Structure formats: structure tokens, C-alpha cells
Amino acid sequence: MKSTILPICPVFWSEDKVLLIDQTMLPHEYALVEITRYEDMAEAIKTMVVRGAPAIGIAAAYGMYLGARAIQTQQVDKFLIHLEIVAQKLRETRPTAVNLFWAISRMLRTAYKSVEPVEEIKKILLKTAQTIQAEDLQTCHKIGQFSLKALPNSPQKLTLLTHCNAGALATAGYGTALGVVRSAWTRGRLKRVYADETRPRFQGAKLTAWECVQEGIPVTVISDNMAAYCMKLGKIDAVVVGADRIAANGDTANKIGTYALAVAAKMHNIPFFVAAPLSTIDFNLENGDQIPVEERHPSEIYQMSETRLCPEGVDYYNPAFDIMPASLIDAFFTEKGVIKPNKLLRLKNS
């Protein structure tokens, strides 16, 4: 497949429903899932039909509207009680990605601050979800633009390594880490992107590689345990990853395997960057030890499609994320510019 069937927009509003690109079907099939109930949106987030911290936040915002739309009372106080139930159902889907909680909180604040009748509040909530989506797209473009100032300044075109998927599929349609890749490519500064396959769900091999193929960006997929060797061989100029939650001190949660990349990059004196919007920073957490790490079902490890990979009788440990100490991160690419980890607190009230 060398041309995009539709714009790579993982979440979008169409008439009276939400359409999601079913990321569990990619790269073999481009399929859309229709969502009309908040319960179905919660299930789609939980089962990773939609994934990526910013995209999860956008999906949750629309989920809040769908839940609000179904509330049958005209009394504002009762409406808000029911809306809190919707919010809690959505919060329970994925514990690590802070954009989920950020978007839900923004939708709740919007409802509580409104002095309009219930039906008008519902309309305002839909507009708020659409605004969150539009803002994320603008944010990702800004992240890509600012990153160009901090990427290694070389007369040769750059080779970047990324992990998991932090692209259009994980955001409103451009990407954080892969937005950096896109910006470097359009400016003629990128030679190639190396994409870690990203076990156990293969988001790099399936999703990042698929996005790159759609746009003609040269991409090489490697298994996760090849990354350090590629660094040693001089194949990697910089590492750029996304984030699911960033503590106030700069400690960062991202897809499992990112920590190992950061250690390897430090060992080989290769710059390591995190691309993320400010909504990914959780200023309520002092450090990464306070970030909740989601553990997923062991079948992701022992089974591939219908094929069992491991023998019966073994135990499994399947954390979905790991935590990178801020000391391993050279800089954050944000919509406010390139920020050193020890300067993040200055953005608290931005």
C-alpha cells in the first residue's frame, strides 16, 4: 500500500458519531470503527483500537460528549452527577497516559463552568472536544518546527531512531516524535528513520513503518535488541521518542523498551530527545517513581495471532511502559520550544 486511503487522522467526528481508525488491523487493513456510545469509546481505548497518549485524550474528550449526549435529565446538577460517572468509566481505561486524564478534566471543567441549560452544555462539550483535537494538530506542527533547531547540525542528512508509534496515528494527525521525523524530511534534513519493532505489540513495525511508507519516508525496521548495535555502528544520529506521562522533574514514561534506548544512547554519546505536548507533563508528580505503570495481559507476550510462542507453565511480566530518568534525556521538544529537563517547572502555568 503506497497511498493513503484517507488522511491519517485516528479520531474524527462525522455527523453524529466518532470514527476511529482501527489500529489493531493495521498495516494489513485500513478499517474504520463507528463509535456512538461512551461505553464503546472506553472499550476502544482499553483494547487499543485507538492508542497514543494525545489520540487517547482526543478520543476520551469525544467519549465525554457521547456520554453527555445520552444523559436524559434537564436538571444541571443531575446532569453533572451522571457526567462524573461517564468520566470515571473513561479514566479506568488506561492508567499511564496522562493526556487521557487531562482531556477528561478539561471537559468536566467546561461543563461545570457553563451557566447554560443542559442541551447547550452538550453542544459546548462537542465544540470543546473538537477544539482539543484542533489544538493538538497545531501543537504537533509546532513541536516539529522547534525540533529542527535542536537536532544535530550536520552537513549530512540525519538518521533518526524512534520507538513505538508517536505519529499521526497517535495524535490528531501529524505526530510528536514522528512529527519531528516529518519536519526533518520535508526540510531535506532526513536520510532515513530506524523504527524499533516495539515488542510485544509491534507498534513500530506495524504503525510507524506504515505511516512512513504512506509518505515515502525511507524507513528501516529493526528488532528492539538491535538498537544498541546500530548505534555502535554509527547508523544513528539521534533518538526521538514520544511520551505518555512526564513528571515535574523530567522523568518520563514511554512504551516499554524506551529506557533501554536511553541508556544505550547515553553510552554511545547520541542525543536522546522526547517530543511531547505540555498536556503530557503531570506537574502533580514530583518524579517518575510516582507514575503508575500499566500492566497488560500476558497473552501479548506468549501469543502472536493464533500461535503460542512460549511453553505452558512459565510466568510472565508485561509492563506496558518504563520510566526514563531525566538525566538520560537531552531535551524535550514541546509547543513552547526546546526545553531542558531541569527547566520544565517553568512551564507549569503556561
**Residues that are catalytic:** 244
Residue type at 308 in one-letter notation: R
Please enumerate in sequence order all residues whose Cβ is within 8 A of that of 120, keeping only pairs 6 or more positions apart, or say none: 114
SS (H, E, C) the chain: CCCCCCCCCCEEEECCEEEEECCCCCCCCCCEEEECCHHHHHHHHHCCCCCCHHHHHHHHHHHHHHHHHHCCCCCHHHHHHHHHHHHHHHHCCCCCCHHHHHHHHHHHHHHHHCCCCHHHHHHHHHHHHHHHHHHHHHHHHHHHHHHCCCCCCCCCCEEEEECCCCEHHHCCCCECHHHHHHHHHHCCCEEEEEEECCCCCCHHHHHHHHHHHHHCCCEEEECHHHHHHHHHCCCCCEEEECCCEEECCCCEEEECCHHHHHHHHHHCCCCEEEECCHHHEECCCCCHHHCCCCECCCHHHHEECCEECCCCCCCCCCECEEEECHHHCCEEEECCEEECHHHHHHHCCC
Distance CA 319, CA 30 (A): 28
CA angle 47, 51, 55 (to 5 degrees): 135
Residue 57 CA to residue 103 CA, distance in Å, equals 5
Cα(9)–Cα(280) distance, integer angstroms: 20
C-alpha cell at 187: 526540510
| Cβ atoms of 244 and 177 closer than 8 Å | no
